[in-house]
Structure 1
Amino acid sequence: MGADRHGGLHGWDFEGFHSGGDTELWKRLGSHVVTIPGNDGAEVSGTRFTVWAPNAREVRLVGEFNGWNADAHPMELIPGSGVWGLFVPGVGAGAVYKYKIHGADGRWVDKADPMARFAQGIPDTASIVWESSYQWGDDAWLAKRAASHPHAEPMSIYEVHLGGWRPGKTYRELADELVEYVTWQGYTHVEFLPLAQHPYAPSWGYQVTGYYAPMSNFGTPDEFRLLVDRLHQAGIGVIMDWVPGHFPKDDWALGRFDGTALYEHSDPRQGEQPDWGTYVFNFGRNEVKSFLVSNALYWIKEFHIDGLRVDAVASMLYLDYSRGDDWVPNAYGGRENLEAVDFLRYVNKHLYEREPGCMIIAEESTSWPGVTKPVHHGGLGFGFKWNMGWMNDTLSYLREEPINRQYHHNKMTFAMMYAFSENFVLPISHDEVVHGKGSMINKIPGDDWQKFATLRAYYSFMWSFPGKQLVFMGNEFGQRKEFDEHAGLEWWVSELWGHRGLQLLFRRLNELYREHPTLWELDSDPQGFRWINADDAGGNVFTFLRFDEQGNALACAVNFSPVPRSDYLVGLPHSGRWAEVLNTDAEEFHGSGQWGNQGEVQAHQVPTHGFEHSAEITVPPLAAVWLTWDRSSVVEGDAGLQ
């Protein structure tokens, strides 16, 4: 009983792949278990293998099923496609394989499948035939996502290095433990550092070798689906880091795939990233565009990922990024990578059209204009951008002794000069607690009481500032050491004084954040924020208001001085009762419990700070206070002021 050696591929049209328009490439290339008609009419089951290697002299399929015999399964070039194909009867899911490629450079190299949907775990590097049988249970979540408006909804993100959260845990175990913890803490989303297959653990997933394969050291692709599904069923969104800017030089992976620079630029001034010792994708090559756009859609469609955080966007946008004088200008003599710009616009536009409610987030560290403007308005088309300026400025302020902070006051207020120019995420990410930067708690001067109090005040400032929030795991309980992916988090300290109080504060911040639309509904609208007093540098105090669409107000006062501020006058938009819903100096958060407002303050018609009403409040030392307006307490005739 014979069968077509290519599993019917001769009739396939690869025009979309070659034009850059194939956005579901995983359905055509790679390994797929199929059943096809045999020569005698009977059906034949096996696996169809296809790989793009247009400049290869020969391609052979090797694997456990043929004893890694390079002569057993030669592949054939499908005319006019650059794609090599072969159908192997009797080979099914779980088969381990590679492509042995005789490249244009004359070398024979065993290559992993660029389109493999499963791979061997570290240190092995072969690909595995995979077919999913997972039955999803998150239909309600997906329907809600499709109707969502992320800019006007709460988003507090818990950033997770999956291998270091609790080392040794599998996707299946984390589907219980991580979901339980994130639910208890109250975050709306988790963000996973890259979970595409990568062989070098210290890269944290940022050097990808298998763009279509979930990291196999934690389990199978369907077990990863289980983790995502369980998060969704618990009401938690899932964001994953995506790395389309560069890839490692491992011989067995994408680099020089068919003996030529196939996925990367051939000119090292364009095709290599000196900072990381990696190759850079050739964004102008249509097949590479198909590969990458399909990959972005693949994670959203096949794994129900809600958002992609695109790593190192600046390295893609600028031709001279980290290259000194050794770079190639664009066609107009400029430093902008026009091909990368076109690619980013293409992928963003396509994903937002195909998957309503998804989020594409840029880690972009420069002042490139319009990162989050729609493509049809001349922007790059991202949904959100990490606010690296806010992060750098505020951390610089925290490092100062309190007595010196008055001279750096503008570092905490400057972000409001551009806060609504993009849709921002405020990140305190993994990058801030590694490589000699020290943990968050050790950035802050003073004794432990001052360190923890300052952190509580800072995170409260962050949670009440316009923009969404992201915090790296371990920061929520004040891990003292720099993060070490091998050792994992120091969970034992979360039971100690100070650490536990901080962890409980995060839980309360997330609870209040979800409850109060004032903190997120108008994040991207200047009407959602107003300073009360941005200029009290001598007092190290910042006071401001957040509003929702209905005009409800929440007043925030943050004191970065060790001196309590009693009878502190603040202007307010309405008279009546303002309830104290947060005091970070409370005993439950391991504060002193000595300073506060006994649960509320009364605002009277005494004009201050440009408002017609005001109240005297107490702001504890190194602490934050949030006050919410009780609309029902307004005196007759008070229309308020916003």
Structure 2
Amino acid sequence: MHQLKIIQEDPYLKNYERQLINRIEWYQNTKDYIEKHFGTLYNFSNAHLTFSFNYDEKNKGWWFREWLPHAHQVFLIGDFNDWNRSSHPLKRGNFGVWEIFLPDVEYKDKLVAGSEVKIHVIADNGALDRIPAYIRETSEDENHNFNGVFSGFNTFKWTDENFRKQKIETPLIYEAHIGMATEKEEVGSYRDFADKILPRIKNLGYNTVQLMAIQEHPYYGSYGYQVSNFFAPSCRFGKPDDLRYLINKAHEIGLAVILDVIHSHSVKNRNEGLIEFDGTSLYFTGHHPEWDSAIFDYAKLEVKRFLASNLRYWMEEFHFDGFRFDGVTSMLYHHHGLTDFTEYHQYFEHVNNDAVIYLQLGNDLIHEINPNIISIAEDMSGMPGICRSVKDGGLGFDYRLAMGIPDFWYNLLENKSDEQWHMGDLYWRLTNRRLNEKNIAYAESHDQAMVGDKTLAFWLMDKEMYTAMEKSQENIIIDRGIALHKMIRLITATLGGEAYLNFMGNEFGHPEWIDFPREGNNWSYHYARRQWSLAENKNLKYEFLLNFDQKLIDFIKKTALLNQKDDYKILEDNENKILAFSKGSHLFAFNFGTESFSDFAIPLKEKGSYKICLSTDDEPFGGFERIDKDLVYKTQKNNDLLIYLPSRTALVFEKK
């Protein structure tokens, strides 16, 4: 076998060649087994077409099936039979599959779309009512009790065929939560998001929407990360067709939609989830010590099939254009990543190889279904090969979230004064990533906005945001905060990766953290919403940040800057806090300091003429309009470019 390309590019991996080859061989052995017994990986991922409710056109009726290999008895119950726990027993078949057939002639008027259902399972853990594992819809009553729902036939009319043939070359991602996307102190809806928020996102210039908290979860305050029903869109925000309406509308206006998919763990609730589903661990193999949740047993073929089918289901039933896989680090390691990764050997120790195989299978499957899919790994370990092809010893993701970047900014703002910022360290932190593995850069996501932390804007301006955001007011703290907010987002977006992400509201410096209703805040929705009116108020300075974000996204799109791989550090001045670098045909100059410089010299390699194409000091962005953007700057005899570089300002020059 030829040496893997990933090792050719990174000789430090030579000592781990056997482990990388094992990844390939174990994956291929698993895939061979699947193809032998299921025909294709695509057929393997059709469990949702077997389990729960599926219509039999030939026999005219609905089959209901469930995988419960250790159950003693199983009954289908619901409002169709007045919740009778004995009238509709399921029959045990092969491989622990239980089933019952409900013919139209008898149940057409009893089992109707919207009927609430459960299964009654008698097993070693007692006699319990459970929500079916593959149920496609749920309901929640006023006491927060959940049921499964019989959806009937899917009759939604899609009009997005043309969009689905397109590929998003550079994802510019707007991360959003449906429930908190409203300014009202309530839970938002799929329909409202589609009609009111999607146009905002489009107007800002983003090309991709990433949706949190879609898979059903019993506790709203879990941000959607404690999933109970993996095939059901959360009923808090509306019906499944309302979600389809949202995605169809997004496609109509040119926005791709990514699902934040949770395959790293599951809620431990028995009433709503899958724990002890047949009286045994079944789907799971332990407990996550940090998340207080159940960990999937990726070694089991049926668990791999459940999760792979889940990916196919969301793609085919809801037309999602990609997935952000949550908690990948936890999946990859038996210690769940609860350690620091400082040495290469740590990437290859305590690895959960069954989880690696599942992620390889999942990425192979979704790219087979749609070659234009966007596959993102939320991984903080930096494991080599996550965004490389399976044949090269990788896991097959398209992008990795650059999770170290927001951590860097927040540590910097919390622990160091402006005078202590190191320009070389800043440049290295933003450019240090694995060769030929694409990253998604971001200064903050929902993680940084959660209660107990602060948004980037609040770190910079703190309580002054409540009293000094009127445009008529002068305030040096607000001036500094607005200036650095723009600079941090500009340098992160242009240096930190091959794609970019923003969490909703942060584009205009939303001032407050996210805190969902809970006992500790008297079940208030005050912090579980977005105050869009702040950016729309012409008297407030939030508009400045919104204007700049729109300009930033437009600049990235027009220049295709994130596709350029030739960034080069030109100047590092730690005394004056100035950093200059080039990327593509553009020159960037950042002055993070408090002193302005006239005729500041930037040493270039060759002669040229430059003109400013973006300045953070423009008045519409809350700047002081100190820059003459009509000037053409020409290099001197020694190839120095002399520029005026005001304090706390970033300038982008385009070579003429």
Checking the alignment, whether the CA contact within 8 Å between 1:406 and 1:538 is kept in structure 2 is no
What is residue 189 of structure 2 aligned with on the other side?
170
Measure the CA separation in 2 of the matches of 1:14 and 1:109.
37
Task: Tell me whether 1:499 sits opposite 2:530 in the alignment.
Answer: no
1:563 match: secondary structure: coil
Look up the match of 1:159.
175
Residue in 1 that maps onto 2:570: 532
1:615 to 629, 637, 641: 641
Structure 1 residue 447, shift from structure 2 partner: 0.8
- Worse overlay, 122-131 or 274-283: 122-131
Q: In the aligned structure 2, how far is the partner of 1:438 from the partner of 1:106?
A: 44
Structure 2 residue identity aligned to 1:502: L
On the 8 A contact 1:156/1:187 being kept in 2, the answer is yes
What displacement does 1:620 show? 2.5
Q: What are the Cα deviations for residues 174-204 of structure 1, in whole angstroms up to 9, with x where unaligned?
A: 2111111101111111111130111110111
Unaligned runs of 5+ in 1: 1-12, 38-43, 266-270, 325-332, 548-552, 608-612, 631-642
* Structure 1 residues 576 and 364: alpha-carbon distance in aligned structure 2, compared to 1, 3 A threshold: same
Q: Which of 249, 264, 282 is equivalent to 1:230?
A: 249
Asked if the contact 2:635/2:642 (under 8 Å) is kept, the reply is no
Aligned residue for 2:17? none
2:324 alignment partner, SS class: strand
Post-superposition offset of 1:86: 0.8
Q: CA deviation at 1:530?
A: 1.6
Structure 1 pair 403/476, CA: closer, same or farther in 2 (3 Å)? closer
> Judging changes above 3 Å, is the alpha-carbon distance between structure 1 residues 392 and 106 closer, same or farther for their aligned structure 2 residues?
closer
Report the AA paired with residue 283 of structure 2.
Y
Contiguous gaps of at least 5 residues in structure 2: 1-34, 340-347, 462-475, 517-524
What is the CA distance between 1:219 and its match in structure 2?
A: 1.3
* Structure-2 separation of matches of 1:280 and 1:14: 28
The code of the aligned residue for 1:102 comes to: I
Kept in 1, the 8 Å contact 2:423–2:579? The answer is no
Out of 545, 551, 554, the position equivalent to 1:511 is: 554
1:520 to 562, 572, 585: 562
Question: Counterpart in 2 of 1:640?
Answer: none
Q: Deviation at 1:272?
A: 0.7
Counterpart CA distance in 2 for 1:17 and 1:438 is 51
1:599 CA drift (Å): 3.0
- Give the counterpart letter for 1:437 in structure 2: D
The separation in 1 between residues aligned to 2:547 and 2:637, in whole angstroms, is 37
Number of the residue aligned with 2:29: none
For residues 382 and 471 of structure 1, what CA distance do their matches in structure 2 show? 20
Whole-angstrom distance in 2 between the partners of 1:592 and 1:322: 46
Matched, 1:88 2:102: yes
Q: Report SS of the residue matched to 2:129.
A: strand
Counterpart of 2:574 in structure 1: which amino acid? A
CA 1:160 to 1:369, structure 2 compared with 1: closer, same or farther past 3 Å?
same
Structure 2 CA distance for partners of 1:447 and 1:355, relative to 1, 3 Å: same
Deviation at 1:401, TM superposition (A): 5.7
Q: Secondary structure at the match of 2:139?
A: coil
* Cα pair distance change 1:568/1:396, threshold 3 Å: farther
1:481 aligned onto 2:481: no
CA deviation vs aligned residue, 1:587-635 (integer Å, no higher than 9, x gap): 1111112x2243343223534xxxxx442122222121111122xxxxx
Letter in 1 for 2:214: L
SS in 2 for 1:463: helix
Structure-1 separation of matches of 2:642 and 2:224: 51
Q: Residues 334 and 579 from structure 1, CA distance in 2 versus in 1: closer, same or farther, beyond 3 angstroms?
A: closer
Compared CA separation, residues 319 and 460, structure 1 to 2 (3 A): same
Residue 281 of structure 2, aligned match among 252, 255, 261: 261
CA contact (8 A) 1:580 1:628 kept: yes
Give me the whole-angstrom Cα distance separating, in 2, the residues matched to 1:35 and 1:93: 17
Letter in structure 2 aligned against 1:405: Q
Are the counterparts in 2 of residues 186 and 507 from structure 1 also a CA contact under 8 Å? yes
Paired with 1:567 and 1:430, the residues of 2 have a C-alpha distance of 41
Q: Write the letter of the residue equivalent to 1:514.
A: K
Name the CA shift for 1:75/1:282 in 2 (closer, same or farther; >3 Å): same
2:634 equivalent in structure 1: 603
Shift of 1:493: 2.4
Farther-moved stretch of structure 1 (22-31 vs 117-126): 117-126
Taking structure 1 as reference, are residues 492 and 369 closer, same or farther at Cα in structure 2, changes over 3 Å only?
A: same
Match of 2:268 among 213, 237, 249: 249
Match of 1:196 among 178, 194, 215: 215
Cα shift at 1:310: 0.7
Q: Is the 8 A contact 1:14 1:81 kept in 2?
A: no
Relative to structure 1, the CA distance from residue 110 to residue 16 in structure 2 (aligned partners, 3 Å threshold; closer, same or farther) is: farther
C-alpha distance in 1, partners of 2:41/2:207?
39
Which residue of 2 is the match for residue 125 of structure 1?
146
The residue correspondences of 1:29-48 to structure 2 (distance < 5 A) are 29-37=51-59, 44=60, 46-48=61-63
Q: Deviations over 1:435-492 (max 9, x none)?
A: 3221211222671111111101111112221411111112111122112343312233
- SS for the counterpart of 2:95 is coil
- Higher mean C-alpha deviation, range 345-354 or range 583-592: 345-354
Return the letter of the residue paired with 2:395: L
Structure 1 counterpart of 2:80, from 59, 65, 87? 65
Using the TM superposition, give the Cα deviation of residue 508 of structure 1 relative to its aligned residue in structure 2, in angstroms.
Answer: 0.9
Amino acid at match of 1:82: G
User: Is the CA contact 2:333–2:352 (under 8 Å) kept in the aligned structure 1?
Assistant: yes
Cα root mean square deviation, aligned? 2.4
Alignment check: 8 A CA contact 2:54 2:62 kept: yes
Displacement of 1:572 in angstroms is: 4.2
Is contact 2:380–2:403 with CA below 8 Å preserved after alignment? yes
Aligned position for 2:69 = 54
Deviations 1:274-327 (A, max 9, x none): 111100000000000000011112212221111101111111111123779xxx
Paired with 2:203 and 2:115, the residues of 1 have a C-alpha distance of 41
Cα pair distance change 1:112/1:304, threshold 3 Å: same
TM-score (norm: length of structure 1):
0.85
For residues 42 and 255 of structure 2, what CA distance do their matches in structure 1 show? 34
Q: Are 1:454 and 2:484 matched, yes or no?
A: yes
The answer (yes or no) to whether the contact 2:384–2:434 under 8 Å persists in 1 is no
- For 1:629 and 1:18, the matched residues in 2 are separated by 52
Q: 1:443 aligns with which of 459, 464, 476?
A: 459
For 1:379, the equivalent position in structure 2 comes to 394
Letter in 2 for 1:127: G
| Equivalent residue, structure 2, for 1:143 | 165
User: Larger deviation: 212-221 or 163-172?
Assistant: 163-172
Contact (CA 8 Å) 2:591, 2:649: kept in 1 or not?
yes
> Is residue 221 of structure 1 aligned with residue 236 of structure 2?
no
1:539-578 paired onto structure 2 within 5 Å: 539-547=576-584, 553-572=585-604, 575-578=607-610
Picking from 418, 422, 426, the partner of 1:411 is 426
Give the structure-2-normalised TM-score: 0.83
**1:227–1:14 distance in 2 versus 1, CA, 3 Å:** farther
Identity %: 27
Partner of 1:6: none
1:388 matched to 2:403: yes
Q: Within 1, Cα distance between the matches of 2:423 and 2:412?
A: 6
2:89 aligns to what?
74
Cα pair distance change 1:384/1:545, threshold 3 Å: same
Cα distance between partner residues in 1 of 2:424 and 2:575: 9
Deviations 1:102-145 (A, max 9, x none): 01x15011111111111113623111112211111111111113
Q: 2-side partners of 1:121 and 1:546: how far apart?
A: 52
Does structure 2 retain, via aligned residues, the 8 Å contact 1:397–1:409? no
Distance 1:419 1:376 in 2: 18
Counterparts of 1:17 and 1:97 in 2: how far apart (Å)? 33
Alpha-carbon distance change, 323 to 575 in structure 1, aligned in 2, over 3 angstroms: closer
